Amino acid sequence: MTDVASPGTKPIASIVDALGILPAEWTPFGKHAGKVSLDILKRLAHRPDGKLVLVTAITPTPFGEGKTTTTIGLGQGMARIGANVAVALRQPSLGPVFGVKGGGTGGGKSLLFPMDAINMHFTGDIHAVSAAHNLASAFLDNHLHHGNALGIDPSTIRWPRVVDVNDRAIRRIVIGLGGKANGVPREDRFDITTASEVMAVLALAEGREDLRARLGRIRVASTRDGKPVTCEDIGVAGAMAALLRDAIEPNLAQTCEGVPAFVHAGPFANIAHGNSSVLADRIALKVADYVLTEAGFGADMGAEKFVHVKCRQSGLKPAACVLVATIRALKMHAGVGKAVMGKPLDEVFAREDVDAVRRGGANLAKHIENMRAFGLPVVVAINAFPTDTPAENEAVKEVALAAGAKDCILSTHFAHGGAGAEALARALKAAADEGAPDFRMLYDASTPLVAKIETLAKRVYGAEGIDVAPAAARDLAALEKDGFGHLPICMAKTQSSLSHDPNLIGRPSGFRVPIREVRLMAGAGFVTVLAGDIMTMPGLPSKPAGLAINVAADGTISGLF
């Protein structure tokens, strides 16, 4: 598929003009996208913000439930009913593009444009993050090689290297082999770029000055006498900030119906905070009356971190929440079939099974309860598939309303674009206009770290409690002692279950969450907690999506969708 403009797309300059962005406040990036200057926030500081809407989902199948497609389609539906709307989405990582999911720019008649560019490098932001992160790695090892003046204890180094592809073979490596000229031998690892603290910093920074300060605070190791060593200490923070000078500016693109789309930053929600940038949301809120911002994976992942990490740090407040569900996912949560990426979808998902939908609806109900616990009005969007039946859709609506959703709407945006999302748009607009005056967090900043983790486990996941490994307990105690107890928690766990165990489908109960590792993200401003067997470098499946991707002589890319 190549980036051929659909009848609904517009020249990017037209999108810019419609948003009231001045010529000096944006830079074209190719023919169909641009970067928006942060200076616009100064000029529009006096203008009231629009209404921010969080788009999230139930616990997904391996195929995903169309959250991005729904966000795009809903934005198009909002525009069709006369709303001044923009969407804010994360930039796709090359890991999923070539790995399990394939392209991350929507589907059907609810697509981002330019699709190929956004999926393949786009404006280079993710590569800039990789470069900045790995520059810190190089400076750190160079410091060891040239005498180690700071007295760094190599065994305390937790700063990995990163690359934006899935590659299980480099999860654990040994570097510095081959003699003294090649550095100091030590164990190391690679994470995927979207799990990098630099990516989290980029997504949470309020501007270049804040970006520079956050990069300087990143801890990379400790000295032999236990003192922290930061990027500032090894002298690399300024150069890292320079590499990210342009990457911090949000990217502006559009949907296939010409709705403005800010596509910026790409933290994974299962191992990072999973939200697009604060700056993209801030700019969008100044130029649009309604902004749909998407959080990754299920509501227990990206949406929870949106509230406790992104909103806590930025002060952003959502007016409503859209929760995406599919009939096939609810059937999966009832245990009637198994969705395996790379294999044909089990035919059981295509058969009408109202009872299974109701049983699997327990997962939907829990996510609704969680969002209501944050004080958010919830509108459930049923992302329609051709095999769904009216009786199954009605069962979803019954479950959703009983759990406290304000409305539950069938949306056919995949097949019909914005026209198929008009009913959903009206329901959302009504909820957003009413707002969320009781928006709240589930824990205070002053709550001890262990209690914060336990709050998430019990109130969000439905666990009986947590089991903290001795090493993790020591690290948590040390963080409290060092003055980091006020930070929020960024839980790294499976996206395939409300629990830490991907095999526990539906609404599991009676389980305890094992906490095996704790990592301080001092620059990003949170504590990452690893639960269960979660890994920060994914592997490729037996049949990677990249097998189908190719490029023709004229530059046309195929196989992304």
Q: Are residues 147 and 282 in the same domain?
A: no
* pLDDT score of 162: 97
Q: Which of 170, 169, 168, 173 is nearest to 157 (CA)?
A: 173
Among 12, 64, 22, 19, which residue's Cα sits nearest to residue 329?
64
Q: What is the CATH number of the domain that holds 65?
A: 3.40.50.300
Name the residue with higher pLDDT: 343 or 193: 193
Domain membership of residue 313 (yes or no) is yes
Decide if 68 is inside a domain: yes
Residues 203, 284, single domain; the answer is no
- Containing 191, the helix (H) or strand (E) segment is strand 190-192
Domain count, the chain: 3
Higher per-residue pLDDT: 223 or 103: 223
- Residue 474: which of 526, 515, 511, 446 has the closest Cα? 515
How would DSSP label each residue in 399-452? HHHHTT-SEEEEE-HHHHGGGGGHHHHHHHHHHHHH--TT---SS-TTS-HHHH
- Phi, psi torsion values for 166, nearest 5 degrees: -80, 125
Q: Note whether residue 7 is domain-resident.
A: no
Share of the chain above pLDDT 90, in %: 86
Domain identity same for 430 and 470: no
Do both 294 and 378 map to the same domain? yes
Same domain? For 150 and 235 the reply is: yes
On whether residue 550 sits in a domain, the answer given is no
Residue 428 domain-assigned?
yes
Query: Are residues 230 and 366 located together in one domain of the fold?
Result: no
Same domain, 218 and 348: no
Percent residues over pLDDT 70 in the chain: 98
167: Cα within 13 Å, side-chain hemisphere: 15
CATH of residue 513: 3.10.410.10
What is the C-alpha separation between 429 and 419, in angstroms, rounded? Answer: 16
Closest CA relative to residue 87, chosen from 225, 233, 220, 280 = 280
For residues 72 and 110, the answer to whether their CB atoms sit within 8 Å is yes
Same domain, 188 and 300: no
- Domain boundary pick from 399, 434, 469: 434
Q: Provide the 10 A C-beta neighbour count for residue 393.
A: 18
Q: Of 406, 434, 462, at which residue does a domain stop?
A: 434
Q: Is residue 444 part of a domain?
A: no
Q: How far is it, in rounded angstroms, from Cα 129 to Cα 31?
A: 24
Instruction: Tell which wins on pLDDT, 338 or 515.
Output: 515
- pLDDT value at 3 more than 60: no
Q: What is the pLDDT of residues 205-246, one digit of tens each?
A: 999 999 999 999 999 999 999 999 999 999 999 999 999 999
Query: Which residue range forms the structural domain that includes residue 220?
Result: 126-243
Instruction: State the pLDDT at residue 353.
Output: 96
Which of 64, 74, 75, 128 is closest to 97 using CA atoms? 64
pLDDT at 1: 41
Residue range 262-283, pLDDT digits in tens: 999 988 888 889 999 999 999 9
Q: What is the CATH number of the domain that holds 145?
A: 3.30.1510.10
67/53 same-domain check? yes
pLDDT (0 to 100) of residue 339:
72
pLDDT for position 64? 79
Residue 461 CB: number of other CB atoms within 10 A? 25
In a domain, 558, yes or no: no
Distance between terminal CA atoms of the chain?
8
pTM of the full predicted structure?
A: 0.95
* Domain end point (choices 217, 243, 269): 243
pLDDT in tens, 363-398: 999 999 999 999 999 999 999 999 999 999 999 999
- How many alpha carbons fall within 13 Å on the CB side of residue 462? 19
Q: Same domain, yes or no, for 290 and 216?
A: no
Within 13 Å and on the Cβ side, how many CA atoms surround 200? Answer: 29
pLDDT band of 323, cuts 50, 70, 90:
very high
Give which of 115, 171, 120, 183 is closest to 147, Cα–Cα: 183
Q: Is 153 exposed, middle or buried (0-12, 13-18, 19+ CB in 10 A)?
A: middle
pLDDT of residue 342: 62
Domain membership of residue 391 (yes or no) is yes
Looking at the structure, tell me whether residues 274 and 391 fall in a common domain.
Answer: yes
Residues 426 and 465 in one domain: no
